[in-house]
Structure 1
Amino acid sequence: MCTARRRDAEKKRDLAREDQARHENMSRLKLESTWRTSVAALAAGTLLFSMLDQPGGYYSGMRALLLVLCALLGILVYRAEGPSWPWLSGLIVVALAWNPFFPMRMTRQEWVPWDIAGVIFFILLAFWSKGRLPRNLPIPTAL
């Protein structure tokens, strides 16, 4: 009788540990989705802010920041569930258009439509990525 109770207690503890591990794993998966959405929103905000009258040095820093954000988003989008190739293609276009190494020379007025298109792209990317879990990772299931 005592052995059966002990086995039952151990089984309950094991199930509780597995449930806790599943919960922690799901939290990590949701955190990646939150990061993806936040980075896309930061990129959109950076482009919105660039439409205001800024000093010349801001645009050099913005280009470098956008390049880093596009690289990070490329990794995060690739890992997301669902079709990622349209978003990866868009990130490549943004990275090329705003790259700091071979900058496109245009006036501020000529940049405005590009900035608006970039903002729309990043906002759409943020909405697309919200709640999408990373693929190729085990998705916890309920017991």
Structure 2
Amino acid sequence: MSASYPSPARRTALIPALLAAVALLVGVALIDGGGFTVIRYIVSIFALIVAVFAWQAKHWWWLVPLVPIAILWNPVFPIELGLPDVWLGLQYGAALVFIAAGILIKAVTAEN
């Protein structure tokens, strides 16, 4: 007799979201430096990855904060906000969005 579980397997967005949050917190120290471009790449890519998780989980409302994060941190077409204090606040706000999204987004995977 095989064991059956009441819920199907789930993939969470926790790992990419936590990696993005760590990159954002490291980026706080690099806002004025050249290393911030690397942080922008990391955050933008992980925002799109977590957005795909949200889409697969049918949590479309998470696209509202994740797509603007991907656009603002996009290093290919950078948006310069001018003041480091604005970026500082956005870094912490985006980290909170990633942590919340990582905890709450769970995509159900197909069973074999």
- TM-score when normalising by structure 1: 0.64
In the alignment, is the contact (CA less than 8 A) between 2:30 and 2:36 conserved in 1? Answer: no
Q: Which residue of 1 aligns with 2:108?
A: 134
Q: Which residue of 2 aligns with 1:84?
A: 59
In the alignment, is the contact (CA less than 8 A) between 2:54 and 2:62 conserved in 1? Answer: yes
Structure with the greater alpha carbon radius of gyration: 1
Amino acid at match of 1:68: I
Give the Cα–Cα distance (whole angstroms) in 2 for the partners of residues 100 and 94 of structure 1.
12
Please point out which of 71, 76, 79 is paired with 2:48.
Answer: 71
Give the Cα–Cα distance (whole angstroms) in 2 for the partners of residues 71 and 117 of structure 1.
17
Pair 1:100-2:75 in alignment: yes
Pair 1:42-2:19 in alignment: yes
Q: Gaps (5+ residues) in structure 1?
A: 1-14
Cα distance, 1:91 vs structure 2:
1.0
Runs of 4+ aligned structure 1 residues displaced above 3 Å come to none
Amino acid at match of 2:60: W
Aligned residues: 109
Q: Gaps (5+ residues) in structure 2?
A: none
Cα distance, 1:56 vs structure 2:
2.3
- Of Structure 1 and Structure 2, the greater strand share is in 2
Q: Which residue of 2 aligns with 1:121?
A: 97
- Of Structure 1 and Structure 2, the greater helix share is in 1
Amino acid at match of 1:87: W
Percent identical pairs in the alignment equals 21
Pair 1:58-2:32 in alignment: no
- Deviation track 1:27-74 (CA, whole Å, cap 9, x = no partner) reads xx33x22xx111111111111111124672321111111121122112
